[in-house]
């Protein structure tokens, strides 16, 4: 058995080209480096927009590293006992975000030791996936929003996602009408409320916004409101997407069993890394659900190439948030491990995850 010899972590603040909100001007990346007893090295990361990065760093340095050293360096073997070790600090959230820093580094080390990209180590099922244009744009003036969508259309994206949740739904409708005029009838339009509504407001809003043919409504309610999502799914025709703020396979299974979601969007870092992400993908396939990984295309695009697709489900897509990719922000020490062109994501030559922070 090869064991973990050391784990180091450091905080990197990555400024955003365009703030996501007045108080979200950067993202926090906790870059990790693991060394195995056989000398193999791996690089990973944890990630959180603005809030909690210092807490993640402290958890990695003070709780995860001491507990990890000497354990099996196989990520799939080590993840569960370490998650149980951290459970008194919470079953998900800061704990799983921090645990991703170790898990990703272990997967990177395993792939680098075999001179492979991680997607090939897991088992690549496809050479490319569709990507969709996405933006944190609720605060954009409508002219800026339209210009953004025009850039996505010109770049060849066949699907785009915009934010909704203005105080007056008539303003959301005006913005969607302008976006639909740019996209035409053949490109997909998704909308994301980022948990801004309660059940009654979501119902009323969707009565208006369904006229624009959204492919899904994302996080219409508070992420942990299982009962509300179940009822909303009964009331509206638009598929519901959830998952960026669900943290365990148990929660994903609960939402799918209840019929509260049709599409799941686990964030690979927030759920704790590749090991639990692959389990969540199995859960989605067991329920016939579509899975589109959330954000982080340099990472999630690689994993999307490996995912099974249940009968009747759509193939995974990668989310490309404008001006927010690590490569676009100049945060990577090496060229990006993925390329997005004409609305399609493919891998560039690399080993491991190919994600090291400068």
Domain span(s) for CATH 3.20.20.120 in the chain: 119-347
pLDDT at site 18: 86
Q: How confident is the model at residue 306 (pLDDT cuts 50, 70, 90)?
A: very high
Told to judge if 166 belongs to the known catalytic residues of this protein, a careful annotator would answer no
Q: DSSP character for 211?
A: G
Alpha carbon distance 60, 80 (integer Å): 16
pTM of the model: 0.96
Domain span(s) for CATH 3.30.390.10 in the chain: 4-115
Give the CATH architecture of domain 119-347.
Alpha-Beta Barrel (3.20)
Q: How far is CA 69 from CA 1, 2, 61, 73, 182, in A?
A: 13, 11, 12, 9, 54
Alpha carbon distance 51, 243 (integer Å): 19
| CATH class of the 4-115 domain in this structure | alpha beta
Among 159, 157, 129, CA closest to 306 = 129
Q: Which residue in the list 229, 247, 262, 294 is annotated as catalytic?
A: 294
Give the tokens for residue 76: 């799939």
Percent of all residues in the chain with a pLDDT value above 90, rounded to a whole number: 94
Q: Which residue in the list 163, 229, 262, 287 is annotated as catalytic?
A: 163
Q: Is the pLDDT of residue 124 over 90?
A: yes
At 198-221, the pLDDT tens digits run 999 999 999 999 999 999 999 999
What's the helix, strand, coil split of the chain in %, to 5?
A: 40, 20, 40
Q: Is the pLDDT of residue 344 over 90?
A: yes
């Amino acid at each position: 058995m090869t064991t973990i010899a050391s784990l180091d972590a450091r905080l990197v603040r990555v400024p955003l080209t365009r703030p996501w909100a007045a108080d979200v001007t950067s993202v926090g990346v906790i870059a990790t480096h693991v060394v195995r007893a056989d000398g193999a090295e791996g690089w990973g990361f944890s990630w959180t927009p603005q809030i909690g990065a210092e807490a993640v760093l402290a958890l990695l340095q003070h709780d995860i590293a001491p507990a990890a050293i000497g354990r099996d360096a196989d990520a799939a073997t080590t993840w569960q006992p370490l998650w149980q070790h951290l459970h008194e600090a919470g079953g998900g959230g800061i704990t799983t975000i921090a645990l991703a820093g170790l898990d990703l580094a272990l997967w990177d080390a395993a792939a680098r030791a075999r001179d492979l990209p991680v997607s090939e180590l897991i088992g690549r099922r496809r050479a490319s996936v569709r990507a969709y244009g996405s933006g944190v744009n609720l605060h954009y003036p409508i002219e800026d929003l339209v210009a953004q969508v025009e850039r996505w259309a010109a770049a060849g994206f066949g699907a785009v996602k915009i934010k909704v949740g203005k105080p007056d739904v008539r303003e959301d409708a005006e913005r969607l009408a302008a976006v639909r005029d740019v996209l035409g009838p053949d490109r997909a339009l998704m909308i994301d409320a980022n948990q801004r509504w309660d059940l009654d407001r979501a119902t009323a809003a969707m009565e208006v916004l369904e006229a624009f043919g959204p492919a899904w409504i994302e996080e219409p309610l508070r992420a942990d409101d299982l009962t509300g999502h179940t009822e909303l799914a009964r009331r509206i025709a638009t598929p519901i997407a959830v998952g960026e703020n669900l943290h365990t396979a148990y929660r994903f299974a609960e939402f799918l069993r209840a019929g509260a979601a049709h599409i799941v969007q686990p964030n690979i870092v927030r759920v704790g890394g590749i090991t639990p992400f692959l389990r969540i993908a199995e859960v989605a396939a067991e329920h016939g659900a579509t899975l589109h990984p959330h954000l982080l295309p340099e990472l999630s695009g690689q994993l999307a190439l490996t995912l099974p697709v249940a009968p009747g489900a759509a193939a995974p897509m990668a989310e490309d948030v404008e001006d927010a990719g690590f490569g676009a922000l100049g945060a990577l020490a090496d060229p990006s491990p993925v390329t997005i062109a004409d609305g399609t994501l493919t891998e560039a030559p690399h080993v491991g995850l190919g994600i090291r922070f400068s």
